[in-house]
Amino acid sequence: MVLPLVIFCLKYQRIIIQKNRLFLYKTYVSKLRTKLDKKKSMSFSNSLIEDYWKEEKFVFNLNHSGKKELCKSCKVDFIDGNKEICLKCENHINIGSILPKLKYIEITDSSEAHIKILSNYGVKLHKDVPGESENFIYNINDSKIYPKLSNKFKFIANNVPMDNHKTISFDELGKKSIGTDKLAYLKADVDNLGSIFSLGFNKDVEGKMINKNNISRTTTLSRMLDIFFTGRISEIIKKKYENCYVVYSGGDDLFIIGPWSEIIDFSIYMEEEFRSFVGNNANITISAGISMANVSTPVSKVADYVEGELEESKGRIVKGEEYGKNHVTIFNRTMKWQDFKKAIDDGKKLTKWIKEGLMTHGDLWRLKEYDELFQDFYINGNVQGLKYKPFLAYHIGKKKKSNKDVREVVNWQESLFDMANPSLINLGVAMEYAVMASKGR
């Protein structure tokens, strides 16, 4: 009799402890979120509230600094002596040269660290095998454990396009695209991540929603997403899209630059892979922004612009949908991924027809006119926009008369009379693609 009672008490005690832990975990997560939100909305609180107004924190007197010029690279810090760039930028260049060849990272004390984390600690980067050490060492992108050397491994997406062990310049990278030599910048991240973590573990138990969120579930989901953005993305680029330059990829987002045509193909493949990675769960989706740029445009400028494109993908509710997100924005248009794929397929078809002489650049510009007219009707409700139909019919008839059209092209053009056809709704995207892809350098 005593033993079952003891077992019952122990079991019951365990349940109480587990429930309390879960309760504490949820309470602390919620408290942390509130604190983070508060901190985010008070950017200058340290200087304006805690220390009150101190002019030297905001105004720098150049005459009293003893230094002459601003760094030519960041234009934020001052340079010492005859140098052209500041110490910070020098360090960034050094780190940047090691990262593509990174083999190990070592947690070490700050004196020999490339990147300082806390006042006493930092990370040392190794291109070669480090000497024996008692420090914590990670293998990079290699899951084997070498007992004498490393204790753990880590995936990092550090791909940069190389030629003969040298990083390819943006000028050369642009030339690797088809048609016009431009670059594309791609920014993407997982939609509704906060809600996925706070509500995603809810379980329907006999009609009642039970929150099953706990530390292990949260960290597992977080780690799995990180594995996709570090390990999987790195593998995809290594095998299929080796001209893509990873600025960063990890956690739940990525920022990649590459030849414009390759970035478009990569983005489509990346979304398909992500969908399959999350088991086609319709609640876990990804949104992206893609911006085209000349090879000489400063990265920071396009980076800001593409951030705006990503926000557009998240915020815009496309006609016929109830919610935003799960979108891609490119060429000033936001659309669902499957419509984007369709538009790019159409763009590739148009490019092929131009190369085969079945279409001319003049035909492409006509498509642009039809697109502008139709969009005026589709978005603004202006019935004048429907004029695209007689124009299109006239154009098809004219081509037929001069025997310059073939069935495949006519069929595609005739499909544009259907106003629910995604090829018509995103005609501008297909047309922009074809213009860029069929243009000489």
Nearest-angstrom CA–CA distance, 181 and 175? 5
Q: How far is the CB of 82 from Zn ion (least distance, A)?
A: 15
Residue from 22, 25, 73, 316 in contact with Zn ion (CB under 5 A): 73
User: Cα separations (Å) of 406 from 1, 318, 430?
Assistant: 91, 34, 20
Closest CA to 426 of 361, 359, 365, 342: 342
Nearer to Zn ion, 74 or 145 (CB): 74
92 binds Zn ion per the rule CB under 5 A: no
Q: In residues, how long is the chain?
A: 441
Q: How far is the CB of 72 from Zn ion (least distance, A)?
A: 8
Q: How far is the CB of 156 from Zn ion (least distance, A)?
A: 25
Are 172 and 245 spatial neighbours (Cβ–Cβ below 8 Å)? no
Contact partners, residue 35, CB within 8 Å, separation at least 6:
none
In this structure, how many other beta carbons lie within 10 angstroms of the beta carbon of residue 375? 19
Nearest-angstrom CA–CA distance, 315 and 321? 12
Q: How far is the CB of 191 from Zn ion (least distance, A)?
A: 35
Stretch that binds Zn ion, among 86-94, 204-212, 213-221, 421-429 (CB under 5 A): 86-94
Sheet with 136-140, edge to edge strand ranges: 115-116, 121-126, 104-109, 136-140, 152-154
Q: How far is the CB of 108 from Zn ion (least distance, A)?
A: 25
Nearest-angstrom CA–CA distance, 266 and 250? 17
Q: How far is the CB of 80 from Zn ion (least distance, A)?
A: 11
In this structure, how many other beta carbons lie within 10 angstroms of the beta carbon of residue 415? 12
Nearer to Zn ion, 73 or 222 (CB): 73
**φ, ψ of residue 210 in degrees (nearest 5):** -110, 130
Nearest-angstrom CA–CA distance, 229 and 246? 11
The contact mask relative to Zn ion for 20-59 (x = CB under 5 A, - = no) is: ----------------------------------------
Nearer to Zn ion, 86 or 254 (CB): 86
Q: Quote the Cα angle for 345-347-352, to 5°.
A: 95
79 binds Zn ion per the rule CB under 5 A: no
* Chain centroid, CA 358 distance in Å: 37
Number of residues that bind Zn ion (CB under 5 A): 6
Q: How far is the CB of 247 from Zn ion (least distance, A)?
A: 18
Nearer to Zn ion, 37 or 80 (CB): 80
Nearer to Zn ion, 7 or 62 (CB): 62
Nearest-angstrom CA–CA distance, 395 and 405? 11
Nearer to Zn ion, 73 or 214 (CB): 73
Nearer to Zn ion, 71 or 416 (CB): 71
Stretch that binds Zn ion, among 14-22, 76-84, 235-243, 269-277 (CB under 5 A): 76-84
Closest CA to 281 of 191, 187, 188: 191
Q: How far is the CB of 79 from Zn ion (least distance, A)?
A: 8
Nearest-angstrom CA–CA distance, 343 and 264? 11
Q: How far is the CB of 115 from Zn ion (least distance, A)?
A: 16
Residue from 17, 74, 317, 419 in contact with Zn ion (CB under 5 A): 74
The contact mask relative to Zn ion for 53-72 (x = CB under 5 A, - = no) is: ------------------x-
Q: How far is the CB of 67 from Zn ion (least distance, A)?
A: 12
Q: Which amino acid makes up residue 252?
A: D
Stretch that binds Zn ion, among 62-70, 81-89, 149-157, 337-345 (CB under 5 A): 81-89
89 binds Zn ion per the rule CB under 5 A: yes
Stretch that binds Zn ion, among 8-16, 83-91, 335-343, 408-416 (CB under 5 A): 83-91
Q: DSSP letter at 70?
A: B
Where along the sequence are the contacts to Zn ion (CB under 5 A)? 71, 73-74, 77, 86, 89
